[in-house]
């Protein structure tokens, strides 16, 4: 084989090698790109499947986006920020977390409006952390409000039965709300009217049964007294300086 033939053969081999290499190189990006695209498609799903906080009890199992929205609704209903209930670390127990669980379990999840609509935090709070501080007294300050209003027209015998039921539900005596002048208005009378009009007269249980004071109070003036609040950390007594011996 002369030099010319050898040169032609070498050129042909190089050309074939380049064609094969180009074909392999063109195929590899497609193979690499496809798994990358699939991984990219699975990433959002992996992000949504984030673990829930271990302290969840009432809302356990709720999808994370729905859980975040529920928390925002609570904060808006009470007119507060997240740190009203939460502290660092986020999973730490607080007294207000216990209150929120009781409210959800016994109120928003355990009751409904008489028309069948769902109950929410905003139905009672309306932007206030504690609705009993001001709402029962709206329009009542500076006015003479003697006499019955919510129970107006009720026969005396039935009225005494209702009042007795109130005292048992709250674990109190008549003078908890009334003074020596039975018709005299008091702040606790105003709160009692608010509780009747906003709760017991406008709500029913999930099964349709009536709502009364005992449902929440359970023998306590304040329903929250039944909660096992987390105990605050004990304060250690400060060390006292050692007394010098009398010399």
Backbone angles phi, psi at 133, to 5 degrees: -75, -35
CB 120 within 8 A of CB 108: yes
For residues 150 and 87, state if they share a domain. Answer: no
pLDDT at 35: 38
Please write the tens of the pLDDT for every residue from 28-72.
444 433 433 344 444 444 444 555 556 788 898 899 999 999 999
DSSP H helix total and E strand total for the chain: 6, 2
Q: Is residue 235 part of a domain?
A: no
For residues 217 and 179, state if they share a domain. Answer: yes
Q: Is residue 19 part of a domain?
A: no
Q: Is residue 172 part of a domain?
A: yes
Q: Is residue 117 part of a domain?
A: yes
Number of domains in the chain: 2
For residues 99 and 60, state if they share a domain. Answer: yes
pLDDT at 84: 96
What span, in angstroms and rounded, lies between the C-alpha atoms of 7 and 29?
A: 34
Q: Is residue 192 part of a domain?
A: yes
For residues 163 and 103, state if they share a domain. Answer: no
For residues 109 and 193, state if they share a domain. Answer: no
Q: Is residue 240 part of a domain?
A: no
Q: Is residue 93 part of a domain?
A: yes
For residues 67 and 102, state if they share a domain. Answer: yes
Strands (E), 138-237: 203-205
Residues in the chain, total: 247
pLDDT at 233: 45
For residues 170 and 105, state if they share a domain. Answer: no
For residues 134 and 202, state if they share a domain. Answer: yes
pLDDT at 207: 93
Residue 173 domain boundaries: 130-138+146-227
Q: Is residue 223 part of a domain?
A: yes
For residues 119 and 153, state if they share a domain. Answer: no
Which residues of the chain fall short of a pLDDT of 50? Answer: 19-21, 23-48, 232-233, 235
């Amino acid at each position: 084989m002369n030099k010319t033939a050898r040169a032609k053969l070498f050129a042909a081999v190089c050309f074939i090698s380049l064609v094969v290499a180009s074909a392999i190189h063109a195929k590899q990006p497609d193979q690499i790109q496809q798994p990358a695209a699939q991984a990219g498609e699975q990433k959002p799903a992996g992000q949504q499947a984030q673990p829930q906080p271990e302290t969840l009890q009432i809302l356990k199992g709720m999808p994370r986006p729905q859980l975040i929205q529920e928390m925002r609704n609570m904060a808006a209903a009470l007119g507060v920020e997240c740190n009203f209930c939460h502290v660092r670390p986020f999973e730490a127990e607080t007294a207000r977390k216990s209150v929120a669980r009781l409210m959800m379990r016994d109120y928003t999840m355990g009751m409904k409006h008489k028309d069948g609509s769902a109950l929410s935090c905003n139905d009672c709070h309306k932007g206030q952390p504690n609705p009993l501080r001001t709402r029962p007294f709206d329009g009542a300050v500076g006015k003479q409000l003697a006499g019955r209003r919510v129970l107006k027209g009720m026969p005396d015998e039935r009225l005494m039965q209702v009042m007795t039921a109130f005292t048992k539900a709250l674990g109190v005596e008549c003078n908890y709300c009334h003074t020596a002048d039975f018709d005299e208005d008091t702040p606790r009378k105003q709160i009692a009217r608010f509780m009747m009009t906003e709760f017991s007269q406008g709500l029913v249980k999930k099964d349709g049964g009536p709502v009364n004071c005992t449902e929440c109070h359970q023998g306590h003036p304040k329903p929250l007294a039944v909660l096992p609040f987390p105990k605050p950390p004990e304060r250690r007594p400060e060390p006292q300086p050692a007394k010098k011996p009398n010399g």
